[in-house]
């Protein structure tokens, strides 16, 4: 069985993330969305909330499962027999750090990283920007799934 992981903070999941997850699900038998816990980041949604939101938006994709992870991504991959990490690349600015992580993960555990070009429609999109725009009442519809939009409106709009 060919398995891939789509890792991230997903605070919250955006349509850009979703596009990569769904495209990866067409290439692999199973895609595990790994919600990574980064204690250094201030999050709007708890890990359980983020997982629930992602599960809701991928529910029509039976080969996508959603889990959380506290540690190294390569340990998560080893424990689940995952051969590849799939990441979206939005712009050249993403590349330096992503390449560094890909090379570190390969050197640690031989896990391959596959970069998928982000749909140009979502090239400017990030969870951080979505939260900032939503905080000031800006319109982020079309950038996040409807269920996320609803949650953001309830929590963030001042
Ligand atoms: O959505 P993000 O915050 O840009 O995702 C970054 C993430 C979570 C994929 C990255 O920080 C990660 O893989 N964290 C897990 C811990 C780990 O394995 N660190 C070493 C990376 S080489």
| Residue 108 beta carbon below 6 angstroms from any ligand 1 atom | no
Residues serving a catalytic function are 17, 41, 90, 127
pLDDT (0 to 100) of residue 41? 78
Give the span between the Cα atoms of 42 and 106, in whole angstroms.
29
Is 9 touching ligand 1 by the criterion CB < 6 Å?
yes
For the cut 80, the answer to whether the pLDDT of residue 157 exceeds it is no
Give the pTM.
0.96
Cα 122 to Cα 17, 89, 129, 145: the distances in Å are: 9, 11, 12, 13
Is the model's pLDDT at 128 over the cut of 60?
Answer: yes
For residue 110, pLDDT beyond 60: yes
Instruction: For residue 99, give the CATH number of its domain.
Output: 3.40.50.620
Atom of ligand 1 nearest to the CA of 100: 22
- Please answer whether residues 11 and 43 qualify as being in contact, where contact means their C-beta atoms are separated by less than 8 angstroms: yes
**Residues 22, 48 contacting (CB under 8 angstroms):** no
Model pLDDT for residues 84-106, shown as the tens digit of each residue: 999 999 999 899 999 999 999 99
| Alpha carbon 33 to its chain's center | 7
Can you read off the two tokens belonging to residue 25? 């699900």
Spatial separation of the C-alpha atoms in residues 69 and 75, rounded to whole Å: 9
pLDDT of residue 43 exceeding 60, the answer is yes
Domain limits at 139?
3-157
Q: How many angstroms is it from 45 CA to the middle of ligand 1? A: 17
Asked whether 16 lines ligand 1 (CB < 6 A), one says no
Most informative mutation of 13, 40, 72 for ligand 1 (most atoms within 8 A of CB): 72
**Count of domains forming the chain:** 1
**Atom of ligand 1 minimally distant from the CA of 41:** 3
* d(C-alpha 137, C-alpha 122), whole Å: 20
- Looking at residue 29, what is its pLDDT? 98
């Amino acid at each position: 069985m060919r398995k891939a992981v789509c890792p991230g903070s997903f605070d919250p999941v955006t349509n850009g993330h979703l596009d990569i997850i769904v495209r990866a699900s067409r290439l692999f038998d199973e895609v595990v969305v790994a919600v990574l816990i980064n204690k250094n980041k201030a999050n709007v949604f708890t890990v359980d909330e983020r997982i629930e939101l992602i599960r809701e938006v991928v529910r029509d994709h039976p080969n996508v499962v959603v889990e959380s992870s506290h540690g190294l991504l390569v340990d998560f991959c080893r424990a689940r027999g995952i051969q590849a990490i799939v990441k979206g690349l939005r712009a050249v600015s993403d590349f330096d750090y992503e390449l560094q992580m890909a090379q570190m993960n390969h050197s640690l555990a031989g896990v391959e990283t596959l970069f998928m070009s982000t749909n140009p429609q979502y090239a400017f999109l990030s969870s951080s920007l979505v939260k900032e725009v939503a905080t000031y009442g800006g319109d982020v519809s079309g950038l996040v799934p409807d269920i996320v939009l609803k949650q953001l409106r309830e929590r963030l709009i001042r």
